[in-house]
Structure 1
Amino acid sequence: MAAEMLQFHEMGLDDRLLKAVADLGWSQPTLIQEKAIPLALEGKDILARARTGSGKTAAYAIPVIQRILASKQCVREQDVRALVLVPTKELGQQVQIMMRQLTSYCSRDVRVADISGKADVSTQRPILMEKPDVVVGTPSRVLAHLNAQNLVLHSSLEMMVVDEADLLFSFGFEADLKNLLCHLPKIYQSFLMSATFSEEVQALKELLLHNPVILKLQGSQLPDSSQLQQYTIKCEEEDKFLLIYTLLKLQLVRGKTLMFVGAMDRSYRLKLFLEQFGIPACVLNSELPIQSRCHIITQFNQGFYDIIIATDEQSLADPTASSQTTSGKKKKKSK
């Protein structure tokens, strides 16, 4: 008989943290959270492979916050105790949002600062002078602040996280990351979170981790190519929306679904069509502000929506195609 899943309230977490988790509607941990959080709370270094949307941000954010809250029980001066490295400013924003949601009942005790944006280093200096407990940023931005002495980590840092580790090298951060390590103390707890175990991630493992626990949670969840099937359905243009509804209603297509359409207005029309039948969906396209797009992805990952309707990027990138579509519509109306 399989062992019962470990629940959040059985992990020895601070009541304020448990309350924030409950507010987020998380009734039980995901697989990566169940495995990683207890190990992290024991002080172990972790290398975890888990796919996007598996809850891996909370898998490191919760133990980071718990450890900071525990350290605040002693009388200690305010300092930067955790560093989260991300490959993009968009991911930095998402991490900060998640951290702030989890610290909603202890925001005075755990302060989080995101410096991954493109603001001038001098503009961000006052934020770092307040010595937030957690700093989130790209390797190049963190290194710039370390070199400018806006950020000092060699004596205070206790935890470091590298999120989406497989993307760091492909985004050109290898040299910055290696230079950054010279500014860190000799002993600190590390977490590497990645969607894949590439050669670059293995190199990071040797560079950052000490006797890590390795969690390979993705392999059993995703089918290999031999298990995938592709189908093509031919139908009349006017029947496409009805066919999509039928596939969803009969549960021939189920679970998390990404739909691509050829034009932006079509994505909104499909969304409205599905909502008539009580099927919620969200629209994602390049015209939406970046914060809106991040919010949509977060809602999709958290289960508010199971369907994203996206517009083909090529049609957005080609202004000629756009103008032809517009003029074509006007002609139809005039007939």
Structure 2
Amino acid sequence: MATEKLQFHEMGLDDRLLKAVADLGWSQPTLIQEKAIPLALEGKDLLARARTGSGKTAAYAVPVIQRVLASKQSVREQDVRALILVPSRELGQQVQAMMRQLTAYCSRDVRVADIAGKADVSAQRPILMEKPDVVVGTPSRVLAHLNAHNLLLHTSLEMLVVDEADLLFSFGFEDDLKNLLCHLPKIYQSFLMSATLSEDVQALKELLLHNPVTLKLQGSQLPDSSQLQQFSVQCEEEDKFLVIYTLLKLRLVQGKTLIFVGALDRCYRLKLFLEQFSIPACVLNSELPVQSRCHIITQFNQGFYDYIIATDEHRLADPAAASQAAGKGKKNKARKSKEKEYSASRGVDFQNVDNVINFDFPVTVESYIHRVGRTARADNPGTALSFVAHTETAFLSEVEEALTGDKAESSLKPYQFKMEAIEGFRYRCRDAMRSVTKQAVREARLKEIKQELLNSEKLKTYFEDNPRDLQLLRHDQDLHPAVIKPHLKNVPEYLIPYALRGVVNPLSNHRRRKRPTQKLKPHGVAKSSFKGTNPLRSFRYAKKTANKKPSHSK
């Protein structure tokens, strides 16, 4: 194998594609791009595993676009030549955005259609009737169009890409994928891209690939310690809330942060807890419409807010049940999550994430890798901090064993945090938690769903035709998720640990304004008395009129 690093301009790519790559600021290909693109251009099937953030999307997007451009030179007929299957709508939007950037100078020759969105199948029919060169979608949506004869692939398809292949079965797409294969031609080039090579990926390999080249890049699926710093802190349930409050309120954690918890109810529990201290955070709720979730992610990426609370394990409300389920095989886990087409740690394009906090420690090594892989992407640095209760130490040991391997040094270093230094905050946290009841969590979830229903563009026309339904929805009982206690907003200086008083300034936004120097007012005189008539002067005026009385006695 050649030892010199292959550059984009040495891969025989179209000039328009090279120009788009230059506009993106890619000076040289990543490892997965350097290895995968030349093999793909040779027509080989690929099974590629590389860590999150390593550039897998471009590793297949570049050869797909190049092959479409090459086909256009010999075949003039417009047809669908490439199909990209994704496990979620969010990932579909991410892939389409990447394809648009790479086809900036050849968009007339390479047309891309994303059918993974929220639109109905019938609404997407006109797009597919134009026969775009590349179609991006989930297996269920693609199969629906195939059954409706909106899409024909058995004669024209040349390339099939399965992105995040290890998620397709766990998201319940097993049957859809198998049915979809009946509509494909006998010969086509396939790419399977994944962050892990699980049993599901091996099953897909047997179904889709023909004598593939397997690329197992980066033995460590996370960046090294020079780019990603990983810490763990031992703390029990109550201490978790105490530590997260201290980290965020004293700004010991700065920058855009993803906070992962074990269940959706705990997302809202943590959000309501932080609200007590005026720490704004949003929940990435899989129950909300996809457009709402995408809007949350877009605003997060644009810097509107710093904290997102999310979960990627819908079955973790009971850790014991989760660990028991882990031993029952992949199929059981797939069935449990079949109704979910969403995972916050996978398939979502979070940009420039500075920190990942595992409020609840993940129960599998893969989950830890995918969560922490949201930060330290490309060449950016990142930090991961995991809270570990005594019931979660076994999961921590599994992760350390998988990440450390033969290394003598542990990947997760103990976070130097003295619990006794923040004991003064404990009574505040307990005070806040009294308002975060199960009923408050339930009402908060209902309130958010109702707000999203009212904001839904699709329902606006329905409510216009059925105003009674809107009236019933709006006049439901008031929701008061949690009573906000104003005194919890600020942090008294005497509570700040002595070691941190010279480092952090939690009151920078809450300092009392210096009032201009002013003379003391006479005691008992109203403030309004200094505006307009002064009662003391009117008294003197009355005294002068009394002195004129002797003049009348003449």
Corresponding residue for residue 294 of structure 2: 290
Change (3 A) 1:198 1:18: same
1:241 matches 2:398: no
* TM-aligned CA deviation for residue 237 of structure 1: 3.9
Structure 2 CA distance for aligned equivalents of residues 238 and 99 of structure 1: 39
Cα drift, residue 10 of structure 1:
1.0
Match of 1:136 in 2: 136
Letter in 2 for 1:260: I
Does the C-alpha gap of structure 1 residues 316 and 10 become closer, same or farther in structure 2, counting only changes over 3 Å? farther
CA-CA distance at 1:122 after TM superposition: 1.1
1:230 to 229, 232, 244: 232
Alignment of 1:177-188 (within 5 A): 177-188=177-188
Q: CA deviation digits over 1:260-291, x for unaligned, max 9?
A: 39546699969xxxxxxxxxxxx875397514
Equivalent in the alignment of 1:312: none
What is the alpha-carbon distance in structure 2 between the residues aligned to residue 218 and residue 267 of structure 1?
42
Matched position secondary structure for 2:187: coil
TM-score by length of 2: 0.49
Question: Letter of the aligned partner of 2:78 in structure 1?
Answer: Q
CA distance in 2, matches of 1:215, 1:91: 22
SS at match of 1:191: strand
2:103 alignment partner in structure 1 = 103
Q: How does 1:293-304 map to 2 (within 5 A)?
A: 293=297, 296=301, 297-300=349-352
Report the Cα distance in structure 2 between the residues aligned to 1:258 and 1:90, rounded to whole angstroms.
Answer: 19
Q: Describe the shift of the 1:267–1:112 C-alpha distance in structure 2 as closer, same or farther (beyond 3 A).
A: farther
Task: Please say if residues 82 and 158 of structure 1, whose CA atoms lie closer than 8 Å, have aligned partners that are also in contact.
Answer: yes
- Percent identity (aligned): 69
Q: Structure 2: give runs of 5+ residues left out of the alignment.
A: 236-241, 261-269, 286-291, 302-348, 353-374, 385-434, 445-479, 491-554
- Among 481, 484, 492, which residue is 1:327 paired with? 484
Superposition pairs of residues 10-29 of structure 1, within 5 angstroms: 10-29=10-29
Q: Which residue of 2 aligns with 1:278?
A: none
SS at match of 1:109: coil
Q: Per-residue deviation at 1:228? A: 7.0
**Is 1:83 equivalent to 2:87 in the alignment?**
no
Relative contact order (alpha carbons < 8 A, sep ≥ 6): 1 or 2 greater?
1
Letter in 2 for 1:58: A
Q: Secondary structure at the match of 2:19?
A: helix
Partners of 1:173 and 1:24 in 2: CA distance: 33
Aligned equivalents of 1:317 and 1:308: distance in 2?
Answer: 32
TM-superposed CA distance for 1:220, in Å, is 3.3
Shift of 1:144: 0.9
Q: 1:59 to 1:329 in 2, by over 3 A?
A: same
User: For residues 27 and 267 of structure 1, what CA distance do their matches in structure 2 show?
Assistant: 45
Deviation at residue 53 of structure 1 after TM alignment: 1.2
Q: Give 1:229 deviation, angstroms.
A: 5.6
Cα deviation code 1:154-184 (max 9, x no counterpart): 1100000001111101111111111111111
Q: Distance in 2 between matches of 1:76 and 1:332?
A: 66
Q: Which has the higher Rg, Structure 1 or Structure 2?
A: 2
For 2:296 and 2:253, locate their aligned partners in 1 and report how far apart those are by CA, in whole Å.
Answer: 26
Contact between 1:284 and 1:308, CA under 8 Å: does it hold in 2?
A: no
Distance, in Å, in 2 between the alignment partners of 1:78 and 1:193 is: 27
Aligned to 1:273: none
Tell me the distance in 2 between the aligned counterparts of 1:266 and 1:116.
38
- The 1:239/1:105 distance shift into structure 2, 3 A limit, reads closer
Q: Which amino acid aligns with 2:484?
A: S
Superposed, which structure 2 residues align to 1:153-168 within 5 Å?
153-168=153-168
**Matches of 2:246 and 2:158, distance apart in 1:** 59
Q: Deviations over 1:278-334 (max 9, x none)?
A: xxxxx875397514515823532776975699xxxxx9997726757652226769x
Q: Which residue number corresponds to residue 275 of structure 1?
A: none
Per-residue CA shift, 1:112-144, capped at 9, x if unaligned?
Answer: 001112322111110000000000111111111
TM-score, structure 1 length as denominator? 0.78
Count of aligned pairs? 306
Contact 1:36 1:46 in 2 (8 A): yes
Are the structure 2 counterparts of residues 238 and 125 from structure 1 closer, same or farther at C-alpha, using a change threshold of 3 Å? closer
The correspondence of residues 251-262 of structure 1 with structure 2, limited to 5 A, is 258=257, 260=259, 262=270
Q: Is the 8 A contact 2:278 2:489 kept in 1?
A: no
How far apart, CA to CA, are the structure 2 residues paired with 1:48 and 1:42? Answer: 15
SS of 1:260's equivalent in the other structure is strand
Q: Amino acid of the residue matched to residue 250 of structure 2? A: F
Q: Is the 8 A contact 1:114 1:135 kept in 2?
A: yes
CA distance in 2, matches of 1:308, 1:222: 12
Q: 1:242 to 1:91 in 2, by over 3 A?
A: closer
Q: Residues 43, 61 of structure 1: CA spacing in aligned structure 2 closer, same or farther, 3 A cutoff?
A: same
CA distance in 2, matches of 1:54, 1:267: 37
Q: Could you say which residue in structure 2 is the equivalent of 1:205?
A: 205
Q: Separation in 1 of the partners of 2:49 and 2:106?
A: 30
Distance of aligned partners of 1:109 and 1:240 in 2 relative to their CA distance in 1, 3 Å threshold: same
Contact between 1:299 and 1:305, CA under 8 Å: does it hold in 2? Answer: no
Stretches of structure 1 lacking an aligned partner (at least 5 in a row)? 249-256, 271-282, 310-314
In 2, are the aligned partners of 1:161 and 1:191 still within 8 Å (CA)?
Answer: yes
Contact in 2 for aligned 1:284/1:293 (Cα 8 Å): no
Provide the rounded CA distance (Å) in 1 between the counterparts of 2:257 and 2:174.
Answer: 33
SS of residue matched to 2:484 = helix
Give, as a single letter, the amino acid of the residue that structure 2 aligns with 1:157. Answer: L
Q: 1:79 to 1:198 in 2, by over 3 A?
A: same
Q: Give 1:286's aligned amino acid.
A: L
Structure 1 letter corresponding to 2:232: Q
Residue 221 of structure 1: how far off its partner (Å)? 4.1
| Cα 1:176/1:127, change in 2 over 3 Å | same
How far is the alpha carbon of 1:219 from its aligned partner? 2.5
Find the counterpart in structure 2 of residue 116 from structure 1. Answer: 116
Counterparts of 2:123 and 2:107, CA distance in 1: 23
